[in-house]
Structure 1
Amino acid sequence: MGADIVIAIDISTPLLTEQELTSALKMAEQLTGLLTRRNTERQLASLTSRDVLIVPPLGHLITSADFDKAQLAIEIGEKEARKQQNRLRRLSVPGTRYNSSMAKQHVAASTRTAADGSWSKPGSLESSTEAGIEAAAEVNDRMIDFIRFDNDSKLSNVLLANLLGVREGEYLDLDRLEEGVGRIYGQGIFESVTYELVHDNGDDGVIIKARKRSWGTDFLQFGLELSVDTSAGDSRFNIGAAYTKMPLNDRNGEWRTGIQFGEDPGIFTEIYQPLGYDGKYFVNGVASYWRTNFRLFTDGKALSEYHVTTASIDLAAGMNLGYWGEIRGGYRGEVGEVDILTGLNNLQDYDFNNGALYLRFSVDKLDSATFPTMGYLMRMEGLLSREFLGADDDFEQLGLMSVGAKSWGDNTLLGRISYNTTPGDDAPLQNMFQMGGFLNLSGLQQNQLSGQHAAFASLGYQRRLFKNRLVQAYAGVSLESGNTWKDSGDISLSDTITAGSIFLGLDNALAPLYFGYGYADTGDDSFYLFMGNPWF
């Protein structure tokens, strides 16, 4: 890199000993470490006696994923650096010379030419402390004369500028700038997003360099559901995958298609398209085909079992509320049939049509959709089914759901509450609310309960047991309460079912994985293997 003297800091995690290789996760961590350690040792071998090497004794106490231990890492690093202060002091310069050097570093090394869009050095650059952008403390009083983007993705620079949230003609605020850079990176398609403060021909500005993921911006997700009801001797199995193409265009559209095999087979395709470069308004369309097993239970025993087959569309438009929520409205249309597999002789097969308008308001400030540790999520939805919209029946439904997470250290409390109601007690079979399954009255069979009304509340605790570059492992428990009712007059807290679960979870790049056991006070218990997101 042309440096005369290198100050190197080695914070790599040491390789595990043979005695420490006690599990498959440890082996995976060791393989990852071997790949990075070889490069680290090659770089360390290139150091000379003039260079300064600082090796904070982090060991396995603090790894690259231990963001919550950042303060401790700083303290250990500072202590180790002070041991080298005599060598470091010889490399220091007077304050005036330092300020001048910092100003030169902030001068633009490049600017975009009008001819071919390539990057080249400006023809005239100031380098004095007065003319350049000076370091840290004096940066925030500078007016931003220009903002330029070096962006190799499909996304429009206009869209990136809106995400950045910093405008030409404003005074530079580094906190706002870094927050905006974080929003750009948070789109999930960039490998890196960096910024540079520059000075060009008397103007101060910012260059944003956004590099898309070198391994691709599309991604594949997997899902798995396996439950065994030990009390009823019944089992349930589904497996699926979904492919997401993003960005679909320069406005950050997305296209997602998935398929599922098993007891509830189906296929769907969905498109999400912002209407402008500010991302405020959008349209969303979904087409799907599903065959779902539907059971009616009385006193824990299945009286009848149905196949409900539906082909549906969901067309919606909405508005994003900043970066924390949205409001959308749309139309849902379905055609389908109900086939009686087992049950009473007076039950008959029938066809049905659904047509409804809906309005949904949602707030999402959770930090993760898989294993959340802080924040909250809330959804409220109202649905209006009418014959003139294509439905067989007129009815209304309302729903509310909220999730909250709070953490301290590696410990997290998760609370969830939901309430769904059909005010007229008149929704047809295929539109009834269902309950039962992992973290949704654990111990019961999947969707064992159904009714015109449903209420649920749970409190969960999870603790992070282990983490490395590939996975994080959790253990948790939950306490749950809820039920469904066919008539509003039957709703009663004294009629709720109490259930609970214990589980192990793995958060990884493919999909969250849970293995758990649930028990309900009805005497039902089940084992679960779940890949996906059971909290919502």
Structure 2
Amino acid sequence: MRNGDQVLVDGGLVGNLPSDVVRKMGAEVVIAIHLEVAPAKPDEIQSFFSVLGRSVDVIVRENEIRGLAAADLVVKVDLHEYTSLEYEKSKAIIDKGRQASEEKARVLEPFALTDTEWQNYLSARNSRRRGSGLTPQFVRVEGTSAGAAKHLEDFLQPLVGKPLDTKTLDGLLTRLSGIGKFDSVGYRQIQDGTRTGLLVMVHEKSYAPPVLQFAFEVDASESADVTFTQAARLTLMDVAGYRSEWRTDARFGNTYGVSSELYRPFTGASKWFVAPHASASYTQFKIYQRSDPLVIYGRTDANLGVDIGYGFNRFSEVRVGYEVGDLDAKVRLGQAQFPSIAGRTGNAKLHFLVDHGDDPVIPRRGYTAETTFRWYDTSPGALEGFPTMEGQVQYFQPITRPASIFVTAQGGTTFGTRDTGPVPQFFLGGPLRLSAYGTNELYGNQYYLFRLGYLHDLFTLPPFLGKKIYAIGSYEFAKMYGFPLQSGFPNDINAGVLAETAFGPLVIGGSLGDSGHRKWYFQLGRVF
């Protein structure tokens, strides 16, 4: 964190066992808890990161020795079989600490307190705690441009004239640090003549914005047909006013394309926003029957539109808009499943999104919901306008510390309208959409899909490789109405490994379905 011109880091680097600090605070007896970890093995120091980590360990252990020497009593906890990255084993590590304390029970007993003495101590300690005691009469922001500071002061204006609730303030400051412009945000009380106020100090990142991100996607939805797409995203901020954000994505490989959207709030503090957007792309659209390719269409899309929306909070928004474009889909190889089409498209849309998942990539707790309604006033081959609606709801619930269950429900419909042109509106088949089935094997104008699954935390990756690896299993069942070649009850079971890596999500799995459907697949990459 920053304090004026100072940058403060974890005090453990110079005092990981600060016996001298607590003695200066008035402690008469200092009891130190020493965590004994395994010494480094030469064959484990094989990279820049391991050398750096070992160097930090040497510094920390040196200051720990000084802390141990200054303590009156030391409780040693044997943690030789654990590493500093095994957070999932916290319960076992806590049990080790409890066991070490019990072994020292006779030595520690003279320092024990009765329940009454402990409660008296807590009461005395709490009475010495100072509340904020501040009712700010103004808020001032420093560390950014005058225009941005004015917008931030407007954002924090609800704090003025009320006793300062530090929990509410911390929440607001967390939101400020989360917009991507600042690497630190802090505050303190100030005086301006006779007025008492709140000074909020922000520090802008030296390296962003703008932000340029790279990603890639390896898709083996069909194990005999692996595709690769390179992607990049450029994000510019405040280019059209405070809190505006302009994102541009580019893709090269199996899909060639560019898309761009400018998000602009009506005012710096408004929840209303306008979002013009445009995109153009070319991709190979494939239809399989089981593992056999039937046809490859070359599909070209170009679209231009604008949305007006309202952000209820950080987790949900609603948009209405209109989009006009051009669609060209022609058979490149194989037997056509529906005719080639070309022509103008136009649709009005209503879109709603809510995301209360605890992780944007692999949620373990919470729920998400998304639905889009469109009214097409023109579409190639359709004689008149028609509606479509597609939605998805997901729910995740932990059942033990390492395990979660989840359920997904999704579906789409044209509300009984049959004349939507020669190309159906919805497709099923492939990972997460009847995984055992061939890519886009089922198609039509109305469907449903349900997925029930189990996610189990296996172990944590080193920080430079990613986060965690999970075992995943699921059961899916679905129906595509009006598709004549499907079985009476399309369903499958899936099992595999899911990892959140530094290169993006990785899934390797297999699926066994009804009527002889089976498949191995893997996918890697893309986080935006």
Q: TM-score range by the shorter chain?
A: 0.7 to 0.9
Q: Which residue of 2 aligns with 1:414?
A: 406
38-47 or 162-171, larger mean C-alpha shift: 38-47
- Once the two structures are superposed, residues 212-251 of structure 1 have per-residue CA deviations (whole angstroms, 9 ceiling, x without a partner) of 3454342414131321635xxx413132222232434462
Q: Which residue of 2 aligns with 1:441?
A: 434
Contact 2:78-2:96 at 8 Å conserved across structures: no
TM-score by length of 2: 0.75
Shift of 1:497: 1.7
Q: 1:474 aligns with which of 451, 470, 473?
A: 470
Q: 1:528 aligns with which of 515, 518, 522?
A: 522
Aligned pairs for 1:54-73 within 5 A: 57=77, 59=79, 63=84, 66=87
Report the 3-state secondary structure (helix = DSSP H, G, I; strand = E; otherwise coil) of the residue aligned with 1:425: coil
Pair 1:213–1:462, CA change in 2 (3 A): farther
Pair 1:477–1:331, CA change in 2 (3 A): same
Shift of 1:296: 4.6
Shift of 1:356: 0.4
Pair 1:425–1:291, CA change in 2 (3 A): same
Pair 1:297–1:437, CA change in 2 (3 A): closer
CA–CA distance in 2 between the matches of 1:158 and 1:431? 51
Shift of 1:387: 3.6
Q: 2:512 aligns with which of 513, 519, 533?
A: 519
Letter in 2 for 1:525: K
Shift of 1:409: 1.4
Q: Which residue of 2 aligns with 1:318?
A: 309
Contact 1:511-1:531 at 8 Å conserved across structures: yes
Report the 3-state secondary structure (helix = DSSP H, G, I; strand = E; otherwise coil) of the residue aligned with 1:331: strand
Q: Which residue of 2 aligns with 1:184?
A: 176
Pair 1:298–1:411, CA change in 2 (3 A): closer
User: Which sections of structure 2, spanning at least 5 residues, go unmatched?
Assistant: 1-7, 9-14, 24-31, 112-120
- Once the two structures are superposed, residues 334-378 of structure 1 have per-residue CA deviations (whole angstroms, 9 ceiling, x without a partner) of 213221123458975442211000011221111211011221111
Shift of 1:419: 0.9
Shift of 1:480: 1.6
Contact 1:474-1:506 at 8 Å conserved across structures: yes
Question: How big is the alpha-carbon RMSD for the aligned residues of Structure 1 and Structure 2?
Answer: 4.6
Q: 2:276 aligns with which of 285, 308, 320?
A: 285
CA–CA distance in 2 between the matches of 1:50 and 1:448? 72
Letter in 1 for 2:496: F
Letter in 2 for 1:18: K
Q: 2:298 aligns with which of 280, 283, 307?
A: 307
508-517 or 303-312, larger mean C-alpha shift: 508-517
Name the count of aligned residue pairs: 482
Letter in 1 for 2:521: F
- Does 2:270 align with 1:276? no
Q: 1:334 aligns with which of 311, 325, 330?
A: 325
Pair 1:486–1:138, CA change in 2 (3 A): same
Shift of 1:79: 6.9
Shift of 1:200: 6.3
Q: 1:245 aligns with which of 219, 235, 239?
A: 235
Contact 2:424-2:443 at 8 Å conserved across structures: no
Contact 1:153-1:212 at 8 Å conserved across structures: no
Pair 1:331–1:501, CA change in 2 (3 A): same
CA–CA distance in 2 between the matches of 1:375 and 1:222? 27
Pair 1:403–1:491, CA change in 2 (3 A): farther
Shift of 1:30: 3.3
Letter in 2 for 1:512: P
Letter in 1 for 2:176: I
CA–CA distance in 2 between the matches of 1:70 and 1:179? 29
Letter in 1 for 2:410: S
CA–CA distance in 2 between the matches of 1:137 and 1:300? 69
Report the 3-state secondary structure (helix = DSSP H, G, I; strand = E; otherwise coil) of the residue aligned with 2:496: strand
Letter in 2 for 1:187: I
Contact 1:251-1:279 at 8 Å conserved across structures: no
- Once the two structures are superposed, residues 85-121 of structure 1 have per-residue CA deviations (whole angstroms, 9 ceiling, x without a partner) of 999xxxxxxx9xx99xx9xxxxxxxxxxxxxxxxxxx
Shift of 1:159: 4.2
Report the 3-state secondary structure (helix = DSSP H, G, I; strand = E; otherwise coil) of the residue aligned with 1:156: helix
Contact 1:155-1:252 at 8 Å conserved across structures: no
CA–CA distance in 1 between the matches of 2:459 and 2:146? 37
- Does 2:253 align with 1:262? yes
Contact 2:345-2:379 at 8 Å conserved across structures: no
Report the 3-state secondary structure (helix = DSSP H, G, I; strand = E; otherwise coil) of the residue aligned with 2:281: strand
Percent identity of paired positions between Structure 1 and Structure 2 = 19
Aligned pairs for 1:71-220 within 5 A: 136-139=129-132, 141-152=133-144, 156-161=148-153, 164=156, 166-198=158-190, 203-217=195-209, 218-220=211-213
